Amino acid sequence: MTISVKTEGDTISQTYDIASVYVNMVQSGGGATTVDGTVTAYSYYGIANLDSVNQVMNDATYTLVSDDGQYYVENEDGTSYLTSDESSATIFDASGEDEMNQALLGNVAVMTSRINQTITKTIDHSEITFTKKYDTSNINKSYQEMREAGLEAARGYVFPEDSQGSSMWAWQDKFQYGWTPDDGPVTTLPTYAY
């Protein structure tokens, strides 16, 4: 935008870049699905230098849980044991192609849901089948984390301070959660661990 002031033959002008649109993300597909292999896509708009999925997404992870609710723990020396303390469970990377296949396709970050996946481990000479408990509760980076990852807003865009002022999540009757014009924006989003 250029502002010009004309006075008695003189013209003074100044040009400003005006940011009128927030950098934003739109989710399509997936989202709290209970179907294995469903692809969730997150389209990002207004980012100038997006070239890696790690700039907008944290790695998905999983822990291993037995049928009786015990968690798998593996020590650095390779020995393993069971615990009822979920916070002590070994956390595995689930971002790779053989798991949730997190990837960036142009301006779209994608991941594939994984549900009811199992793996067998040997503990004290006994084979135990575990279910992989996936965690995507913190999958999308905040706008602050995106800026810290080196992302820049494209011309005409600006990063919002947080997602609350720029996100409007549709009401989902199934979860009795979301946003309506009468409610104003939500303050937290539902998260699910599969």
| pLDDT per residue as tens digits for the range 113-129 | 998 899 999 999 999 99
pLDDT at 12: 83
Domain that holds residue 33: 24-151
pLDDT at 178 over 70: no
pLDDT at 174 over 70: no
pLDDT at 169: 57
Domain membership flag for residue 157: no
Domain membership flag for residue 16: no
Domain membership flag for residue 53: yes
Domain membership flag for residue 100: yes
- Overall number of domains in the chain: 1
User: Which residue in this structure is represented by tokens 């067998």?
Assistant: 120
Q: Quick check: helix, strand or coil at residue 53?
A: helix
Q: Could you tell me the pTM of the whole model?
A: 0.73
Contact between residue 55 and residue 150 where contact means Cβ atoms under 8 Å apart: yes
Contact between residue 149 and residue 54 where contact means Cβ atoms under 8 Å apart: yes
- State mean pLDDT over 90-117: 94
192 vs 175: which has the higher pLDDT: 175
Domain membership flag for residue 72: yes
